[in-house]
Amino acid sequence: MTTTLIVLAHPNQRSFNGAWAEASAKACADMGHEVLWSDLGAMEFDGIEARAHYGIAPEAAFDPLKAQEAAAQAGNLPSDVAREIEKVQRADRIVFHFPIWWFAPPAVLKGWCDRVLVQNELHAVEQRFDRGMCRGKSVLFCATTGASAAECGPDGKEGDLQLQLWPLAQTFRYLGMQVLEPVATHGVHGYHEGDDEAALEARLGDVLTGQAALLANWGRHPRMRFNSDDEFDAAGRLKPDAPSHTPFVRHR
């Protein structure tokens, strides 16, 4: 049975993002998936890594990476983190639902990554990128923007949404997951009036209705392309004859 984890990074379940996440959950349940949920707002997930999570005194040294590793090894990770790690380990697929806030996913989602993606639990020095611990899993980002599709395009004044999502995509690529091409719903905001508002409602309704077909097509949905490990030299730089798939990793 396929297990799908839905992660909602929005403070309001009754937002469009909340409705979109619900549509994903229902579609997956209808396909017979086991559905796991992380509604970060409802959970009041604490996305700020801090010594208090590990009982480390203010005057003591605090190295977050070592604190996470030590807690994982001792089996006493913070309970909220341990629960999230278990969900990621169980999941075959993850669907993230979030709005774009200030040209990036909301801070709570970055914080979820900072705290949950613990070394030796979901990745390790010898198990990352092509050999990532999470090989075989795949992830999809469903993002909303207030700006229009044109404004979020490669030449748009808001900047290219695909680039804004790249650091998050690279995070899951680092873990070894396949990353599906992100899906976006644009122009989502409450300032439309009259016919514009009705048109928006109809468009958002279509997104919710279409979510089942989108998720049913998971296997054929295009994947983001990343360089393979052997396309980098010993210093970790892109080899001259290797392709560049993103301005984040390009030839000088």
- Give contact residues for ligand FMN (rule: CB under 6 A): 10, 15-17, 99-103, 144-147, 158, 188-189
CB of 247 to ligand FMN, least distance (A): 19
CB of 144 to ligand FMN, least distance (A): 3
CB of 130 to ligand FMN, least distance (A): 33
CB of 147 to ligand FMN, least distance (A): 3
CB of 146 to ligand FMN, least distance (A): 3
The candidate with the shortest Cα–Cα distance to 229, out of 163, 180, 166, 173, is 173
Based on CB atoms, which residue is closest to ligand FMN, 168 or 177? Answer: 168
Q: Are 111 and 98 within 8 A, CB to CB?
A: no
Vertex 133, ends 249 and 167: CA angle to 5°?
30
- Taking the C-alpha atoms of 35, 118, 54 and 39 in order, what is their torsion angle to the nearest 10 degrees? -30
The candidate with the shortest Cα–Cα distance to 118, out of 68, 74, 83, 77, is 68
Based on CB atoms, which residue is closest to ligand FMN, 28 or 143? Answer: 143
User: Would you give the end-to-end CA distance of the chain in angstroms?
Assistant: 46
Based on CB atoms, which residue is closest to ligand FMN, 14 or 220? Answer: 14
| DSSP secondary structure code for residue 230 in this structure | G
Based on CB atoms, which residue is closest to ligand FMN, 100 or 214? Answer: 100
Based on CB atoms, which residue is closest to ligand FMN, 184 or 238? Answer: 184
Based on CB atoms, which residue is closest to ligand FMN, 7 or 118? Answer: 7
CB of 26 to ligand FMN, least distance (A): 17
Q: What are phi and psi of 243, to 5 degrees?
A: -75, 155
Task: Give the Cα separation of 230 and 130 in Å (integer).
Answer: 9
Amino acid letter at 193? E
Residue nearest to ligand FMN (CB): 146
Alpha carbon distances (Å) from 87 to 64, 114, 238: 22, 16, 34
